[in-house]
A = this chain, B = another copy of it.
């Protein structure tokens, strides 16, 4: 009897590359991404190749940090509710001398001569006099020039992925645009899948490419695919989806070679996705992904996303949180093959979902995350602690709608 389904153990691959070796291949691909200017509103999620420095001391001048009266601290010495002192209120903009006080608001430049701010609740104006019922320490309520940062000091470090705090800081420094790492261009060529699978994969992989910091260009197979491949615009990464197997219409290897590309490895010790390949086209890495939707999405997540994130200047790890959870049912997995297993989370325990080729995406779409059984293991016993990549969809299930 034939022992298993051929999609799990493609018989024609004589040497199947272990997943860890595929990762090493991906991690060794050169990173020659340049930079470009991006207006701030387009800079979210981008990565700074060089630090952004402060264009001036911050604050640029001594500032009041609180609402109240600018004073010389020494003039308030000894003041208390039992022994109020009286200062003379001078108009705003005038230099301050001993015994004087000047109304000021948080954020305003401190008048010259002042060295502290008396908060509003400690001084009360009585005509042109200010009744002071507490002493204030030298420097209280004052932001000193350069206290927060010095001119040319680092405002945002190199390698930082820009989020709201960084973009807001850049805007508050008056910076109109930032020099950021260029977004990798990913050309997706759908060589195999037919409607509606091609629509499904085009939508899903384009969204995943955007999630991982790239720009997706989708192309459908032409009749003369080798010619088409050889004249597509330069890309930072090619993903050829479909026709990766050994059936009579599986010509992806052939057309990639005919287009001047090459495949370094064809066949991975991975399930699903065992017919994936790794190679080159026009100086850029090319990944051959299987055309069935499940295998295509799995190999995107396990292979393409990893390389793309690094090219985009991000960490190559999975972009979703990894949680250590308790396995509720055993997973049996063939030794020598890394197996992608989608799981459903129930609190701190996870249940593996069995995938069969007939499922298509039905199983994966129910999953809250996935784990990868390493090639060296026969699986996991029930109760094992496993590292699960949790996908954002799962979070909302805690919520009542």
Contacts and interface: CB of A to CB of B under 8 A. Distances in A.
A106 B247 contact: yes
Where chain A touches its partner, the secondary structure class is loop
A137 B2 contact: yes
Contact of A148 (B54, B167, B358, B399): B358
A351 to B, nearest CB: 15
A399 B316 contact: yes
Contacts of A7: 65-66, 106
A172 interface: yes
Contact of A161 (B148, B158, B174, B393): B393
Nearest to A399: B315
Instruction: State the copy count for this chain.
Output: 2
A158 B44 contact: no
Interface string A334-369: 000000000000000000000011111111111100
B136 A1 contact: yes
A184 to B, nearest CB: 14
A204 B360 CA distance: 40
A63 B357 CA distance: 10
Residue with the greatest number of chain B CB neighbours at <10 A, chosen from A45, A249, A315 = A315
Contacts of A106: 7, 247, 292, 357
B168 A201 contact: yes
A390 to B, nearest CB: 9
A155 B365 contact: yes
Interface string A198-216: 0111011101100000000
Contacts of A208: 164
Interface string A172-197: 11100000010000000000000011
A41 interface: yes
Interface in A113-164: 119-122, 134-137, 140-141, 143-144, 147-149, 155-164
A378 interface: no
A256 interface: no
Contacts of A357: 65-66, 106, 143
Shortest beta-carbon contacts, A-B, top 4? A143-B358, A171-B200, A321-B321, A168-B204
Interface of A: 1-2, 5-7, 11-12, 40-41, 44-45, 47, 49, 54, 58-59, 63, 65-68, 105-107, 119-122, 134-137, 140-141, 143-144, 147-149, 155-174, 181, 196-197, 199-201, 203-205, 207-208, 245-249, 292-293, 297, 310, 313-317, 319, 321, 356-367, 391-393, 395-399, 401
Given A11-B119, A168-B204, A314-B396, 4 more contacts: A143-B356, A148-B359, A168-B200, A317-B398
